Amino acid sequence: MVGAVAVELKGVVKRYHEILAVNQLDLTINTGEIFGLLGPNGSGKSTTLKMLMGLVTPDAGSITVLGKDVQKDPVAVKQLVGYVPESPRLYEFLTGIEYLDFIGNIYDMQTKEKKSRITEYLKAFQLEGREGDMITSYSDGMKQKIALISAFLHRPKLLILDEPLSALDPRSARIVKDFLQELKAQGVTAVMSTHVLEIAQAICDRIGIMYQGKLLALGNMKELRQMSKLPDSGLEDIFLKLTGTGDTRAIVEELLK
Ligand SMILES: Nc1ncnc2c1ncn2[C@@H]1O[C@H](COP(=O)(O)OP(=O)(O)O)[C@@H](O)[C@H]1O
Ligand SMILES: [Mg+2]
């Protein structure tokens, strides 16, 4: 399946009243790709990811995910995809293990496989020993780990991750990074929005920089460097230049006055 299209958006528009959140977006993501969606706050990343999941209906355009039309086949898409929303809402009156067991049941997982995977993931994310505590007692980072495990548990072919590294400590962020690379080797596709530019630079095959609902730039690191005319720069400089907020030093100086 390598080379096949995993996600396709054509002429996608989403308005919230007078706000044009996504403005004529065309984007194709290939199977096995790790695709990073970057952009300042409010640039339309979360809206785009929600539309891929069928949680927000576009006003115009078409979206296919793993060969399915998101509007026509919304349940099939949700079965095939693992999604971590921007601010995951968990059933916090459940314990971690009860919640993950519940998620495994939703995806119709076999009991044995479900239990062994839950145990593996709890261990990998260093939640062992806390799985019997109610989620209300977890830190934000621990809740984020539960949300990630919930998305990974049924081994989906496509992961849609909205700021998956938020609230994670460096070690856990590293685990997610390594894990995504391993999944990629197995042909899994991932689309993720992130503000952690180092990780985007390290693991994303291609990066799309969104600004005011449009894709301002799209390509691998080499192509982005060429586009921004910053041949030796990292993603942070490219991002700041392309999104027009490059003069951060002036802003900081202004704030310190
Ligand atoms: N449910 C909503 N109702 C009204 N406006 C929204 C809603 N969701 C997002 N928006 C607006 O759409 C724009 C894009 O938001 P979003 O997709 O969340 O951006 P990002 O994830 O890049 O920060 C913003 O201006 C935001 O205020
Ligand atoms: Mg967002």
Domain annotation covers residue 103 = no
Residue 71, in any domain of the structure: yes
| Ligand with an atom nearest the CA of residue 86 | 2
| Residue of 19, 25, 160 with the most ligand 1 atoms within 8 Å of its CB, for mutation | 19
Question: What are the phi and psi torsion angles at 19 (to 5°)?
Answer: -85, 125
Q: What is the CATH number of the domain that holds 60?
A: 3.40.50.300
Is residue 10, in this structure, part of any structural domain at all? yes
Decide if pLDDT at 91 tops 80. yes
Residues recorded for the chain: 257
Secondary structure of residue 150 in the 3-state scheme: helix
Asked if residue 104 is part of any domain, the answer here is: no
- SS3 state of residue 119: helix
Q: Is 125 exposed, middle or buried (0-12, 13-18, 19+ CB in 10 A)?
A: buried
Answer whether residue 73 is part of any domain.
Answer: yes
Q: Which band of pLDDT confidence, cut at 50, 70 and 90, is reported for residue 245?
A: low
In the numeric block, which tokens belong to residue 240?
Answer: 């700041």
* Ligand 2 centre distance from Cα of residue 178 (Å): 23
Check if 217 has its Cβ closer than 6 Å to any atom of ligand 1.
no
Residue 240: per-residue pLDDT: 86
52: Cβ contacts below 8 Å, ≥ 6 apart:
7, 9, 63, 65, 70, 77, 81, 160, 191
Residue 33 lies in a domain: yes
Tokens describing residue 200:
């985007």
Nearest in space to 36 (alpha carbons), one of 172, 126, 166, 163: 163
pTM of the model: 0.93
Q: How far is CA 179 from the centre of its chain?
A: 14
Q: What's residue 199's pLDDT? A: 87
Residue 39 in any domain: the answer is yes
Q: What is the mean pLDDT of residues 43-47?
A: 97
Average pLDDT over residues 221-242: 85
Structure tokens given for 120? 């593996």
Query: Would you state the pLDDT for residue 69?
Result: 96
As residues whose CB is below 5 A from the ion ligand 2, the structure lists 45-46, 86
Mean pLDDT, all residues of the chain: 92
**pLDDT at residue 232 greater than cutoff 60:** yes
Ligand 1 center to 44 CA (angstroms): 6
3-state secondary structure of 140: helix
Which one of the ligands is nearest to 19 CA? 1
- Report whether 68 contacts 80 (CB < 8 A): yes
Q: Is 18 in the pocket of ligand 1 (CB under 6 A)?
A: no
Pure H helices in the chain: 45-52, 74-80, 96-106, 111-124, 140-152, 170-185, 197-203, 221-228, 235-242, 248-256
Domain count for the chain? 1
| Ligand 1: residue whose CA is nearest its atom 4 | 16
Which residues face 37 on adjacent strands?
193, 208
- Please, are residues 153 and 100 in contact by the beta-carbon 8 Å criterion? yes
CA pair distance 136, 96, nearest whole angstrom:
10
- pLDDT, mean of residues 44-58: 97
Domain that holds residue 74: 5-88+157-219
Report CA 162 to chain centroid distance, whole Å: 4
Q: Establish if 130 belongs to a structural domain.
A: no
Tens digit of pLDDT for each residue in 74-87?
899 999 999 999 98
Pocket flag, ligand 1, residue 19 (CB < 6 Å): yes
Atom of ligand 1 at shortest distance to CA of 17?
4
Instruction: For residue range 129-165, list pLDDT tens digits in order.
Output: 999 999 999 999 999 999 999 999 999 999 999 999 9
Is the minimum distance from the CB of 50 to ligand 1 under 6 angstroms?
A: no
Tell me the best of 12, 16, 23, 53 to mutate to test the pocket of ligand 1, counting ligand atoms within 8 Å of each CB and taking the most.
16
The Å distance, Cα 144 to ligand 1 centre, comes to: 21
Range 240-244 average pLDDT: 83
